[in-house]
Amino acid sequence: METATDRLPTLTELLTGPFRCRCGAEIAHWGACEPCAEAQAKADHDRRMTWARESIPEGFRWASFGAPELRELVSAEAVRRVRAIRAPLPRGVAIVGPSGAGKTTLACCVLRRITDATGPSSPSYMVDVARGARFVSARALEQAQQRLRARADDKRALDLVAQAERASVLVIDNVEPARADGIDSAVGRLVMDRHDARRLCTIITTWMPADEASKTYGGGWVRRAYEQLVELPEVVR
C-alpha cells in the first residue's frame, strides 16, 4: 500500500491504491485521513499566528479573558470595561488607569482574543487581520526612532517601525508624555498616520487622562488616540 507523504504523488501512484495516511489509517485517496488533515490545518494556522502571538511580551502570553489567573490579578470591573470595547474596533482606543490596574494585561487579552478568534476555516480576510496584530512598547518605538536618527539603515529599527505601521491592530503599551513636540515623537506620528492615512486600529495603554495627554501631544492627537476611552478603576489593595 502507498503511504501519503509531503511530496506530490506520481500519476501511477494516483491511479493505484489503496492508500494509507501517515498515521496508518487506510484511506481511499492520496493524502491524509480527515483527523490528520484537520490537525495539520490547525498546525498550519497556528504557525501563521506565531508572529502576532510572539509580539506579546513573554510574561503576558498567558493573558486571555478566559485565563483563571486574570481574576486574581485584575478587578472584575476592569475586565468588564475592556470587554465592552465596541466592535468593530474603532481606530483609536485608550486604556487608561493607574499603575497596577491591569492595563498591559488587558491589552494583551484583547490582542489574544483577536489572534484566537480565527481558525483554519475562517475567511482569509479575518485570518489576515488576526495574523497582522502586533504588540509594541512605546519605549521600543522611541528607541527605534533614536537609532534611525543616528543610522537611517538600521535594519532592526526599520523592521520594528514597519511592522508597527502596517499592523492590522496595534497595541502601544505604556505611553508617556512626549519629551518635545508630541506629534513629532514616534508614538505621536505613528498614531496619527495609522488613524488618518492607514485607517487602522491603535490601542494605547497609559496612565494619562485625555487632558494630560493633550499637554504634550495636542488635542488633535488625543481626539484620535482616545476615540474610545476605557478608564480602569482605581486599584484597591
Determine contact, residues 96/78, Cβ cutoff 8 Å.
no
The DSSP result for 160-210, as a single string, is: HHHHHHH-SEEEEEEE---SS-GGGSHHHHHHHHIIIII--EEEEEES--H
Residues 59, 7 within the same domain: no
Residues 59, 170 within the same domain: yes
Residues 69, 104 within the same domain: yes
Residues 102, 161 within the same domain: yes
Residue 80's domain is classified under what CATH number?
3.40.50.300
pTM of the model: 0.82
Residues 22, 131 within the same domain: no
Residues 23, 76 within the same domain: no
Q: What is residue 2's predicted lDDT score, i.e. its pLDDT?
A: 43
What would you report as the CA-atom Rg of the chain, rounded to the nearest whole angstrom?
23
Residues 149, 100 within the same domain: yes
pLDDT over 90 at 117, yes or no: no
Torsion angles phi and psi, residue 14, rounded to 5? -70, -30
Residues 8, 104 within the same domain: no
pLDDT over 80 at 60, yes or no: yes
Enclosing domain of residue 8: 2-39
Residues 82, 126 within the same domain: yes
Residues 80, 29 within the same domain: no
Q: What is residue 183's predicted lDDT score, i.e. its pLDDT?
A: 53
Residue 177 lies in a domain: yes
pLDDT over 60 at 4, yes or no: no
Beta bridge partners of 27: 19
Residues 22, 53 within the same domain: no
Torsion angles phi and psi, residue 41, rounded to 5? -65, -40
For cell 501517515, name the residue: 22
Residues 143, 211 within the same domain: yes
Residue 71 lies in a domain: yes
- Distance of alpha carbon 110 from its chain centroid, rounded? 8
The residue that leads in pLDDT, 151 or 19, is 151
- pLDDT average, residue stretch 55-79: 95
pLDDT over 60 at 73, yes or no: yes
Q: What percent of the chain has pLDDT over 70?
A: 89
Q: Which of 228, 234, 204 is nearest to 78 (CA)?
A: 234
The residue ranges of DSSP E strands in 42-194, in sequence order, are: 92-96, 134-137, 169-175
Q: What is residue 120's predicted lDDT score, i.e. its pLDDT?
A: 80
Residue 44 lies in a domain: no
Domains held by the chain: number: 2
Q: What is residue 236's predicted lDDT score, i.e. its pLDDT?
A: 63
Q: Which three cell numbers stand for residue 33?
A: 485521513
Residue 144 lies in a domain: yes
